[in-house]
Amino acid sequence: MITTVTLNPAIDREYFVDNNEVMKNQFIYNEKDLKVYPGGKGLISAVNFKALGYHDVQNIGFVGGKQGLFFEKMVQKYDIISNYIHTEKEIRNNVKIIGRNPATYTQYNDYTYQVSTEEVQELVNRFQRSISESDCILISGSIPEGVHFDIYQRLIRIAKTKDKGVFLQGSGEALKLALAAKPDIVTPYFKHHQTILDLEMDTKKDYIKAGHKMQELGAKYVMIPFHCDRLLFDKNGDVYQLSPQEYCIINWLGASDAYNTAFLDYIFQHDFDFFEANLRGAAAALWVAENKKIYLSARENFNCCLDRLKIKKLEV
Amino acid sequence: MSKVKDYMIRTMNSITPKDSIKKAIEIMYRSEQSVLPVVDEHNRFIGTIYSNNILKNIIPESFGFLDSSRLFYEVNEAVENLKEVKAEPIEIYMSENRDAVEEDSDMKKVADIMLNNKESLLFVINEAGYLRGFIERSNLLHFLLDEADNSDLTADSK
C-alpha cells in the first residue's frame, strides 16, 4: 500500500469565462466551463499513483462538514482508499476564475479551515494504525489552522518507529521542525514564504546553502526547485543541477505532485537510484507542465520527456 | 465474474476497541455512517459497532410501546444513561463478528450473505484481514442492475 497525507484538503472550483470583469455577472451554461475537483498535494499524488496502476493507495487527512463528505465522495471515485478524520468545521473551497480574452487568472485561496486539538490527536492515532501495510509515506502540502507546526515531525517519528520510508514536501516552520525526525527525501516548497529555514532564496548560493542546512538538520536526500530546474543533494552532500531543455511551460498546477509520484514510482519499480528517480520525476513534471494536465496517466507519456533532461554536478 | 472490489466503497474510517462510546457517536454522525468497523492497532478488522448496539444499551426495553408523555420521560432517561456510559470503551458494546468479505469475493456471495443474514452493510477486507472499506445494499443493487442490463443485452443479441 502507498500512503499519502493531505492535512489541508480543498474543493477546487474552476470557472472559465470569456472576459473576467469586475462588477459583471457571468453565466455558465456549458459544463466544460466549470470544473470541480478534490485538491490537496498528497491527494493529487494519490490519484497519480492510481493512474500508474497501484492497487492500494490511501489518502490520510482531515475532511470537515458536509463539504468534507462531498470531497470524500469525489476521492472515492478515483478508487483511492479515503482515510479521513471528519472534523466539525467545513473544509476549504478554492475558486479560480479563468478569463479567455484577455487571458486572465484570478484565484481566491481559502485558508479558513480549522481543526481542534482532539481532531489532531485522532489523526495521529489513525495514522499510527493505518500505515502498517505501507512501505513508504508521502507527506505533502500545507497544514490547517489548529494544527501545531510539529505535526510533520510527529508523523515522521511514528513512520520511522515502524521502519517506513518518508518523502516530505513541506514548507515554513513545519518543514524546519520535521527535519529533526530525519525524513529520507525532502523537497521544500516556498511559494508563500520565499524562504527555506528562514533563509532568503535569491542566488543559487542561497539555495545550495539551504539544501546543505536541511541535510545538517536531518534530511538524507534533498531536492530544491530552482526556477525551472532542480538542485539535487545526494546523501554525501554533493550537489547536482537537473535542467530541462527546450521546454514550453503552460501550467504549474500538479507539476510538483507529478514529480513526487514519478520519483517514488521509479524507486518502487527499481532499486533506489537517486538520479534516475529524479529524472523520472522531472519528466513527469515536464509532461504535466507542457500539457495543461493536473494528473498523470501512463508512464509512457512522460518517459518521452526523458531525453530533454540533463543532470550536471556543481562545483561547490 | 463481478467482484466486490468493483462495487465497494473504499474507506478506512474506523474505530478501535478502546475508543469511547462518545467518539463512536461523533464519528458516526460526522461521517454519516451508523455502522463502524472496529480494527486492531494494525488496522485489521476485528468487529463491528452498530448504532443499535449503543441505543439498545441506553434506551429502556419498553421504548416504542409507550404513549407520548411516557416517551418523553424515556428519552430523558436515555440521555441520563448515555451520560453514564459515554466514556466507556466500545469493546463492551461491539459485535465481534467477522462477517467481512474479501475484495476478490464474487458479488453473488455478497448477495447471498446480505439477503440471508439481513445485513445492510458488510465490511471489506483484503486477504490478510486488513480493512479496505464496505459494501452496502445500494452497491448490491447497482451490481444487480448491471447484471440485469447485461442479460438484456445478451437476450437482444440472440
Chain A interface, best mutation among B8, B25, B30, by max A CB count within 10 A: B30
The candidate with the shortest Cα–Cα distance to A58, out of A138, A9, A2, A6, is A2
Q: Residue A200 phi/psi, 5° resolution?
A: -70, 135
Chain B interface, best mutation among A67, A75, A133, by max B CB count within 10 A: A133
pLDDT above 90: residue B72: no
Chain position carrying cell 514550453? A248
Measure CA A160 to chain center: 20
Q: Which domain holds residue B57?
A: 4-157
Question: Would you call B22 helix, strand, or coil by DSSP?
Answer: helix
Domain boundaries, chain A: 2-313
B30/A132 Cβ within 8 A: no
User: Considering its fold, how many domains does chain B have in total?
Assistant: 1
Q: Rounded to whole angstroms, how far apart are CA atoms A141 and A251?
A: 19
Q: What is the pLDDT of residues A200-210, one digit of tens each?
A: 888 999 999 99
What number of other Cβ atoms are within 10 A of residue B65's Cβ? 8
Q: What is the pLDDT of residues B29-53, one digit of tens each?
A: 999 999 999 999 999 999 999 998 8
Which among A58, A76, A130 has the least Cβ separation from residue B9?
A76
**Residue B22 corresponds to which cell in the numbers above?**
462518545
pLDDT of residue A194: 74
Q: What is the pLDDT of residues B87-103, one digit of tens each?
A: 999 999 999 876 799 99
Q: Taken in order B101, B107, B108, B111, is the CA torsion positive or negative?
A: positive
Taking the Cβ of residue B20 and every Cβ of chain A, the question of whether any pair is shorter than 8 Å is answered with no
Q: What is the pLDDT of residues A54-87, one digit of tens each?
A: 999 999 999 999 999 999 999 999 999 999 999 9
Measure CA A175 to chain center: 13
In single-letter form, the type of residue at position B35 comes to V
Taking CB atoms and an 8 Å cutoff, what residues of chain B touch A87?
A: 30
Taking CB atoms and an 8 Å cutoff, what residues of chain A touch B16?
A: 125, 129
Residues of chain A falling short of pLDDT 50? none
Cis peptide before A102 (omega within 30 of 0): yes
Q: Rounded to whole angstroms, how far apart are CA atoms B66 and B63?
A: 6
Q: Strand A165-170 vs strand A185-188: parallel, antiparallel, or unpaired?
A: parallel
A86/B30 Cβ within 8 A: yes
Top CATH class of A2-313 equals alpha beta
In single-letter form, the type of residue at position A52 comes to L
Q: Is A2 in contact with A57 (CB distance < 8 Å)? A: yes
This complex has an ipTM of 0.90
B126/A69 Cβ within 8 A: no
